[in-house]
Structure 1
Amino acid sequence: MRFAVLLIFALAGCASRWGDPHAPKTVVADEAGGAVTVNHGARLQIPLVNDPAGAYEWRRVEPEILRIVLEGPPDAEGQYFTPVRSGEEKLRLEYRPVGGEGTAQRVVSYDVTVPEGGLFSRMWDAFKEVFSRPKK
């Protein structure tokens, strides 16, 4: 009998988890732009939504070499990006007519930093720290 009660509680605990435990951590950027840091394995949400009528859309105009890439088409919550390279980049988005002609109605810039990640990177940083100490 005790085993059955314990089994019920264990299964209830498994069923009570919210969402996907393996989902990436989402970093939400400010709508006005600015500096943002997103680690490898996480994703960046930029809450800029396209015109519901379909007349305007957000377009990426910078940079040419990407540190973060768009995961898919924008949705009602904005755009999601995934880091693919470490380093810094200036992400510039313009709100333009869908046809591409005409001037940008709004421009937003983000200074995105993707720090080095992974075991090798941490070991290399520790190695450099040991040998960069001043000698006594």
Structure 2
Amino acid sequence: MQRLIPAMLIIAALIHLIPVTGVLGELHLAQLYGVRIQDPNLLILMQHRAVMFGLLGLLLVSAALIPAWRPLAYIAGLVSVTSFVMVAWSVGNYNDSIGRVVMADIAVTACLLVALAIDYWPGRFSTA
């Protein structure tokens, strides 16, 4: 079961690393989110968001390899994904691309919660 923790963190990391391509510009962001970004200020914010996802993805990869980093990774990852899902649901009326992001974030939430549960309550998940 302990091998499942790094696997869940790597899956969460890979999903967080997908948006990093948005740093390459408006066309990449349009492909990711299904929206055109005409305002240069919004483009700056979205490209910075891509960088932040890269950092979070690297933290999750690092936590898969360095157990001491896992508490921070669990907190940062869960805050990231649950806040996005809550914002998307509260605003509503989002496009299919954003809907895929919501579903991906729900999957990441599940991965992080599984890893967290195994990490902090190992007796409950032993196969002995």
Q: State whether TM-score is above 0.5.
A: no
> TM-score if structure 1 supplies the norm length?
0.28
Higher relative contact order (CA 8 A, sep 6+): 2
The structure whose Rg is larger is 1
> TM-score if structure 2 supplies the norm length?
0.29
Higher strand share: 1
